[in-house]
């Protein structure tokens, strides 16, 4: 079941669901979601001298990105074809019986700005700010102003609480992240089922 505005308020008041700071609840709490605002920090991939990023290598992806912090009252210009990581201003805490989905806002979608390129799921148990995967699919640069409502979070109730919420097990690389975080895929301790033996695909 997806939480309505009244359900969201109940859970925020109960204190197990946290979205903070929630400076303007009347504006930010929508009929079945909470609008989150854009933070001031951005991570951009360097355009030159960047080797191939191999997810299974020990190289830190952090080495290939540079950080920009936008001054107060300034904008970040997202150029056509660009892909940058941003962050929500708000920090969230998702209880073990909820899962949250990061969605774009229609008004930005209509400007061809995509807020999460692929991943849009906040696990039960997740705590921290949310890294936004921002891209501009249009043909005109778009100015992004820190503080603008950039994304919305919906909450779905699980049938039962997660036995092993995010943060309680190994992995959980992004727990308590603050600001945009580059991929930490290199710290996956194993590839598990992704590392298939040659011949697996054709059943040899
Ligand atoms: N656009 C997004 C999507 C998710 N998250 C946060 C909340 C998630 O609970 C956490 C982990 O997301 P995934 O499980 O999708 O990521 P991985 O599987 O790569 O990480 P892990 O191995 O830590 O589960 O990252 C985020 O900050 N920004």
- What are the residue boundaries of the structural domains of the chain, listed by start? 3-46+61-160
| Average pLDDT score over residue span 12-31 | 96
| Average pLDDT score over residue span 49-55 | 73
pTM for the complete prediction? 0.91
The continuous run of DSSP H or E covering 10 comes out as helix 5-14
pLDDT given for residue 47 in this prediction? 73
Question: Which residue numbers belong to the known binding site for dCTP?
Answer: 105-110, 123, 131-133, 152, 166, 173, 177
| Average pLDDT score over residue span 22-50 | 91
Contact 153, 143 (CB under 8 A): no
Q: Which of 133, 161, 190, 204 is catalytic?
A: 133
* Tokens describing residue 35: 């609008």
Q: Is 133 a catalytic residue?
A: yes
Contact 83, 134 (CB under 8 A): yes
Closest CA to 108 of 78, 130, 128: 78
pLDDT given for residue 200 in this prediction? 59
Contact 155, 29 (CB under 8 A): no
pLDDT tens per residue, range 66-106: 999 999 889 999 999 999 999 999 999 999 999 999 999 99
Yes or no: is domain 3-46+61-160 CATH 2.40.50.140? no
Beta partners for 36?
151
Residue whose entry in the numeric block shows the structure tokens 């190994």 = 170
pLDDT given for residue 169 in this prediction? 81
Select the more confidently predicted residue: 18 or 184: 18
| 79 C-alpha to ligand 1 centroid (Å) | 26
Signed CA dihedral, 97, 193, 191, 117: sign only: negative
């Amino acid at each position: 079941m997806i939480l309505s505005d009244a359900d969201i308020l109940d859970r925020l008041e109960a204190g197990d669901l946290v979205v903070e700071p929630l400076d303007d609840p009347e504006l930010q709490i929508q009929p079945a979601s909470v609008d989150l605002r854009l933070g001031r920090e951005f991570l951009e991939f360097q355009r030159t001298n960047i080797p191939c990023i191999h997810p299974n290598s020990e190289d830190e992806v952090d080495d290939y990105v540079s950080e920009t912090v936008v001054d107060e009252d300034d904008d970040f210009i997202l150029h056509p074809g660009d892909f940058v990581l941003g962050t929500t201003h708000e920090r969230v805490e998702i209880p073990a019986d909820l899962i949250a989905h990061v969605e774009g806002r229609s008004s930005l979608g209509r400007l061809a700005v995509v807020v999460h390129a692929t991943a849009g799921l906040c696990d039960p148990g997740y705590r921290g700010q949310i890294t936004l995967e921002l891209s501009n699919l249009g043909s005109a640069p778009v100015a992004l102003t820190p503080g603008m409502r950039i994304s919305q979070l919906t909450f779905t109730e699980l049938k039962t609480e997660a036995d092993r919420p995010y943060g309680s097990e190994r992995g959980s690389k992004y727990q308590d992240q603050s600001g945009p975080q580059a991929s930490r895929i290199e710290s996956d301790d194993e590839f598990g089922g992704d590392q298939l033996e040659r011949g697996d695909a054709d059943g040899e």
